[in-house]
Amino acid sequence: MSATGTTPISDLAPQGDDLTDYDHAHMTLYLRLFDAAESGASLQEVSQILFGIDADKEPERARKIYDSHLARARWMTEHGYRKLLEGGNG
């Protein structure tokens, strides 16, 4: 189980301009990650709390997951939310 529920967290978030099932399943994660980044939370703290990863033991993996998901969280705030409002995935 992931920190967000029953859907595992991938090492890489989706890319592209379409909302995916993964995006829908991890919407709360994106919001929490975006808020954590905006408030200046450390990579170690975010990795442990949101991803269940020890960033000191797996620094490259923690950074890859963090960067990938933060980029997707930002995309969601700039573009993806429109797709949610339209009620579609594409």
Mean pLDDT (the chain) is 88
Q: Pick the residue with more confidence: 20 or 84?
A: 20
> Residue 2: what pLDDT?
45
pLDDT 10s digits, 47-72: 999 999 999 999 999 999 999 999 99
Residue 87's pLDDT band, with cuts at 50, 70 and 90, is confident
Mean pLDDT of 18-38: 92
Residues 6+ apart with CB under 8 A from 28: 4
Please determine, for residue 4, whether its predicted confidence score (pLDDT) is greater than 70.
no
Q: Is 70 helix (H, G, I), strand (E, B) or coil?
A: helix
Looking at residue 79, what is its pLDDT?
A: 83
